[in-house]
Structure 1
Amino acid sequence: MLRLHEIRLPLDHTEAALPAAILERLGIPASDLLSFKVYKRSPDARKKSAILLSYAVDVELRDDAAVLARFAGKSHIGPTPDMAYRFVARAPENLTERPVIIGFGPCGILAALVLAQMGFRPIVLERGKAVRERTQDTWGLWRKQKLNPESNVQFGEGGAGTFSDGKLYSQIKDPRFLTRKVLDEFVKAGAPEEIQWINRPHIGTFRLVGMVEKMRAEIIALGGEIRFESKVEDIAVDNGQVTGVTVNGEFIPSRHVVLAVGHSARDTFQMVHQRGIYVEAKPFAIGFRIEHPQSLIDACRYGSFAGHELLGAADYKLVHHAKNGRAVYSFCMCPGGTVVAATSEEGRVVTNGMSQYSRNERNANAGLVVNVNPEDFGATPENPLAGMDFQRHWESRAFELGGRNYFAPAQRVGDFLARRPSTQLGSVEPSYKPGVTPTDLSTALPDYVIEAMREAIPAMARQIRGYDLPDAVLTGVETRTSSPIRIKRGPDYQSINTRGLYPGGEGAGYAGGIMSAAVDGIELAEAVALDIVGKA
């Protein structure tokens, strides 16, 4: 088979247009085209007066070799790569040690699934609850202002990605097509098949819940074990080698432990650091959530084609380099979504964004964040966890500004730019639950962050007209963009000073989002399997 890229057709093209375009591109008669399959479809909206659909397709011909030879050197035509996933090892029949996985978010789920598929019968320890119970606890904060510190947006089956837009795209390098393995597993678990070929696929929270349950069931059916409400209290290390973990007072021996906790497992980070496992501070970003009418974003991105069913709700990605040296950028943009309460600690306010599969809510929201560096929060080699204290400080400040009841502080963009407090909100109704308190956000984050954001919003309005809409809403604070630490590992995926510990995913500083965390989980599983069978 061969793959053709950049076949562009009108948005409302007929079913026959795509095969006709393939024949024209290749210069072959219809009898030579045996079959074709869409590999990727994405909108080309560079000209809003004539939005196109751009296809990449895999085609089977009567004589692939002759056509490939004729188009040799052409970047848009080449052989279809082999994207099949192949297991790197199989568990021995006399398997005496079961690997342990700490955390059951995207990284932990894929690590457990692949290890189970290879026969290694992993034991998964998840501090939170199963996904449906966890959902009830999460709604407890959103509806009743009641937080469960162990079962919330951050902790529980599925990880933070369960209460998100369910974005399944990433900018990671993927020479082995591990993202295809992830998508295949998601489809098998109930995701729509379109995620395998549409550009920038997403699933949404409600569908993710059912998928997570099905993947859990497969892990168990293959001999794995999953324990909920099981927070790891200690990791035992003997002479630089992991020997097991303690959970709920029970010691579980294992010389292969995958640490796949999320970016908010602060107590676990403290325990890891206290055990002498190497940890270093890393940059991250902080800011606010910004909400606009989704119709504004659609009109700006798609013009007269806004609302077309093949385009859906429009998204955006914006960056501005401020005069004070800070980068301001949009983060985790959620078309047709809501801003959600995402704290995992009492007395703090944290925001995040979420969408359902339909993406049909009235507002678009995104994190509008500014980079911060270890020197900004006083991290040192002796105190690599200073970023956590920095996050906590601003989350506590947001709790105070919001009224100390888990309401979030909010401000109209017009007031924010004019440097005056908001006393009421305008035409854009904030979606954050349990609610917002109009206020002055100028003291909600460091001065250099506020300064950079005030410069960035009008500049971004030159890319998206109306981005500085006076009634658009800023809601604070967004502090959990990524982990404030990295648990450094070597090329064998093991901690650089603790053998048998495999740190990965967002919490360890090696991923950012569902897809990159899931791919990292596969690679961790492979590293563990190869080490157990002696092929590492």
Structure 2
Amino acid sequence: MLRITDLKLPLNHADEALPAAIRDRLRVTPRDLIRYTIARRAHDARDKMDIQLVYSVDVTLKNEDTVLTRFRKDRHVQRTPDTGYRFVTKGGPSYTGPRPVVVGAGPCGLFAGLILAQMGFRPIILDRGKVVRERTKDTWGLWRKSVLNPESNVQFGEGGAGTFSDGKLWSQIKDPRHLGRKVLTEFVKAGAPPEILTEAHPHIGTFRLVTMVESMRETIEALGGEYRFSTRVDGLDVVEEAGTRQLRGLHLSTGDYLEANHVVFAVGHSARDTFEMLHATGVHVEAKPFSIGVRIEHPQSWIDEARFGPCAGHPDLGAAAYSLSHHCKNDRTVYSFCMCPGGTVVAATSEEGRVATNGMSQYSRNERNANSGIVIGIDPARDYPGHPLAGIALQRHWESRAYVAGGSNYKAPAQRIGDLLAGRPSTALGSVIPSYKPGVHMTDLSECLPDFAITALREALPAFGREIPGYDHPDAVLTGVETRTSSPVRITRGDDFVSLNTAGLFPAGEGAGYAGGILSAAVDGIKVAEAVALSLTA
């Protein structure tokens, strides 16, 4: 089988145009082309008047070797890569060794548990939150009634923070083993739409993620895995053995002690108390960069028209997305983050008396507004030096300020762009209606963001308006604060995926500082699960 890449066709091409383009590209007859399948589909909208669909296709031909020889110097015609997943080892029914433990049931923990279960190691999966449907009810409790459950919310519970997001399933990580394909394949088995295997920028959306997470839990349990919800890890049992710190077990919030010497820590980027516990126990933790900013909202129709022109609304294009970046005179970089077409801005705090925002959308992406984080990069040396956990303190500071600025009732502080640029508080909305629940309080965002962030936003937003007409419209709404872009710490590990100074502890995923988003976290979970499995069978 051969793969052709970068095969371009007009947006409104006929069905027969694709096989015809394949034959023309390979210079073969209809009789030579046995079959073809679409491996990937994207669109090129750089010219709004001539938007094209861009395909990668896998083709089966007569005399493939002859055709491949003809195109041996053409990087767009190659053998189809082998993207199948192969287990690095197997435990199987005869395995009687120690059961591995996975802490956290987000994307990373979910795939670590799944791979370990598929290899026959019967993992125990702990999560401080609740099963996904009960967690969803608690999350809606904050959004609809301003009632926060600190142990069951957007951040904590089965499925992790990614459950209440756009469900984006793409990443820029290097993936030579095609582990991302394994992730997508398992998602399709669990109920995701099959087109995520071919779309260039696949997404799922919250409602579909809920049922998929449930299905994958059932798979893990059928393979001998065990879940324990509402179970937080409150302490580690670490002993010194021949000059090495060795993990022996976990002290749980239930009062139980769980013997364990192979533990995947996939706790997510908001497990602040867990980071504090690990640091106090002597596990090596260091501060890492993250970003801080706001959520911006425009009517989705504005973005569609700006990106797609007369083709806006075409079913093959869907709701338009964007990616923006600007380096400011104050040496700060402002960029778009976690852009959610046709979505909503949601309350994402996990601690009482604080406000944090995130973006979410459903698979249909048909809500009124587009939203995105507009955030400013910060780093430990410059902004929170002196302690590995100083980034957590910084997050808490600005989230507390946002809580007060919003009215101390979990409403979020918000400001119209026109008012922010003019340096005045907002007192009323314009034509753009914000989607944040439980609601917004119009104010001055300089009360809950550092001065350098406000200065950078005032420079970057007009620059973005030159890239996307109308982006800096005076009525566009900014909602604060976005602080959970990534983990503020890294639980350091070596090339063997083991903690630098605590044997048996395997830091993993976004909370440990080794991923960003659903796909990269899931891929990291697979890699760490493989390392655990190899250690168990060594």
- TM-score where L is the length of structure 2: 0.98
Q: CA deviation at 1:411?
A: 0.3
What is the one-letter code of the residue matched to 1:179?
Answer: G
Could you tell me which residue of structure 2 aligns to residue 423 of structure 1?
427
State how 1:89-128 maps to structure 2 within 5 Å: 89-91=89-91, 93-128=94-129
Q: Give matches, 1:168-207, under 5 Å.
A: 168-207=169-208
Shift of 1:141: 0.3
Structure 1 match to 2:250? 245
Q: What is the aligned residue count?
A: 532
What's the offset of the Cα at 1:96?
Answer: 2.1
Deviation at 1:166, TM superposition (A): 0.3
Aligned residue type for 2:468 = I
Q: CA deviation at 1:379?
A: 2.8
Q: CA deviation at 1:252?
A: 1.0
| 2:342 alignment partner, SS class | coil
Deviations 1:267-296 (A, max 9, x none): 000000011000000010000000011011
Equivalence map 1:49-448=2 (5 Å): 49-91=49-91, 93-239=94-240, 240-247=245-252, 248-380=254-386, 383-448=387-452
Is the CA contact (8 Å cut-off) linking 2:247 and 2:503 kept in structure 1? yes
Contact 1:402 1:437 in 2 (8 A): yes
Q: Describe the SS at the equivalent of 1:461.
A: helix
CA distance in 2, matches of 1:522, 1:76: 30
| Structure 1 residue 41, shift from structure 2 partner | 0.3
* Cα drift, residue 12 of structure 1: 1.3
CA drift of 1:13 comes to 1.1
Q: How far off is 1:443 after superposition?
A: 2.2
Give the whole-Å Cα distance in 2 for the aligned partners of 1:143 and 1:322: 38
Secondary structure of 2:466's partner? coil
TM-score, normalised via structure 1 length? 0.99
Could you tell me how far 1:94 is from its partner in structure 2? Answer: 3.7
What SS does structure 2 have at the residue aligned with 1:127?
coil
Residue in 2 that maps onto 1:500: 504
Q: CA deviation at 1:236?
A: 1.4
Q: Distance in 2 between matches of 1:340 and 1:63?
A: 55
Give the letter for the 2:345 counterpart.
V
RMSD: 0.7
2: CA distance, partners of 1:123 / 1:162: 21
More moved, 247-256 vs 283-292: 247-256
Q: Is the 8 A contact 1:42 1:53 kept in 2?
A: yes
User: Aligned partners of 2:122, 2:496: CA distance in 1, in Å?
Assistant: 21
Q: Which runs of 5+ in 2 are unaligned?
A: none
**Is the counterpart of residue 11 in structure 1 residue 17 in structure 2?**
no
Q: Distance in 1 between matches of 2:497 and 2:69?
A: 41
* Preserved contact between residue 377 and residue 386 of structure 1 (Cα < 8 Å): no
Partner of 1:521: 525
Aligned AA for 1:451?
Answer: T
Quick one: distance in 1 between partners of 2:97 and 2:362? 43
Find the aligned partners of 1:250 and 1:281 in 2 and give their Cα distance.
Answer: 31
Q: Is the 8 A contact 1:101 1:123 kept in 2?
A: yes
Residue 46 of structure 1: aligned partner: 46
How many Å apart are 1:340 and its aligned residue?
0.1
Q: In the superposition, relative to structure 1, how do residues 94 and 45 fare at CA in structure 2: closer, same or farther (>3 Å)?
A: closer
Structure 1, gaps ≥5 residues long: none
Question: Quick one: percent identity of the two aligned structures?
Answer: 65
SS in 1 for 2:249: strand
Question: 2: CA distance between counterparts of 1:69 and 1:343?
Answer: 58
Letter in 2 for 1:426: G
CA distance in 1, matches of 2:499, 2:133: 34
Deviations 1:230-274 (A, max 9, x none): 001112111211111111111111110000001000000000001
4+ runs deviating over 4 angstroms: none
1:133-184 CA-to-partner distances (Å, cap 9, x unmatched) read 0000000000000000000000000000000000000000000000000000
Amino acid at match of 1:23: R
Which has the higher mean CA deviation after the structures are superposed, 84-93 or 350-359?
84-93
Distance in 2, matches of 1:377 and 1:14, equals 55
Q: What is the 5 A alignment of 1:485-496?
A: 485-496=489-500
Report the secondary structure of 1:336's partner residue.
strand
**Is the 2:417–2:473 Cα contact (8 Å) retained in structure 1?**
yes
Distance 2:474 2:44 in 1: 30
For the 8 Å contact 1:339–1:431, the answer to whether it is kept is yes
Query: For the Cα contact (< 8 Å) 1:282–1:484, is it kept in 2?
Result: yes
SS at match of 2:309: helix
* Contact 2:90–2:120, Cα closer than 8 Å, also in 1: yes
CA distance in 2, matches of 1:520, 1:61: 37
Distance (whole Å) between structure 2 residues aligned to residue 235 and residue 463 of structure 1: 51
Separation in 2 of the partners of 1:378 and 1:203?
A: 36
CA distance in 2, matches of 1:94, 1:473: 57
How many angstroms apart in 1 are the aligned matches of 2:20 and 2:163?
Answer: 41
Give the letter aligned to residue 224 of structure 1. Answer: G
Question: Is the aligned partner of 1:35 residue 2:35?
Answer: yes
Contact 1:348 1:396 in 2 (8 A): yes
User: 2:374 is aligned with what amino acid?
Assistant: L
Shift of 1:378: 3.1
Aligned-residue offset at 1:421 = 0.6
Alpha-carbon contact 2:104-2:266 (below 8 Å) kept: yes
State whether residues 6 and 54 of structure 1, in contact with CA within 8 Å, keep that contact through their aligned partners in structure 2.
Answer: yes
Whole-Å separation in 2 of the counterparts to 1:421 and 1:19: 58
- Look up the match of 2:483: 479
Cα distance, 1:442 vs structure 2: 1.5
What per-residue deviation string (whole Å, max 9, x for no partner) do you get for residues 486-529 of structure 1? 00110000001111110011100000000000000000110000
Kindly provide the CA deviation profile for residues 192-229 of structure 1, in whole angstroms up to 9, marking residues without a partner as x: 00000011000000000000000000000000000100
For 2:144 and 2:372, locate their aligned partners in 1 and report how far apart those are by CA, in whole Å.
22
Amino acid at match of 1:219: I
Asked whether the 8 Å contact 1:379–1:385 carries over to 2, the reply is: no
Query: Take 1:261 and 1:471, find their aligned partners in 2: how far apart are those partners?
Result: 38
Q: State the AA in 1 paired with 2:451.
A: D
Give 2:399's aligned amino acid: E
- Give the match's secondary structure for 1:272: helix
Q: Is the 8 A contact 2:403 2:410 kept in 1?
A: yes
- The one-letter code matched in structure 1 to 2:66 is A
Measured in 2, the distance between the counterparts of 1:486 and 1:442 equals 29
Corresponding letter in the other structure for 1:388: I
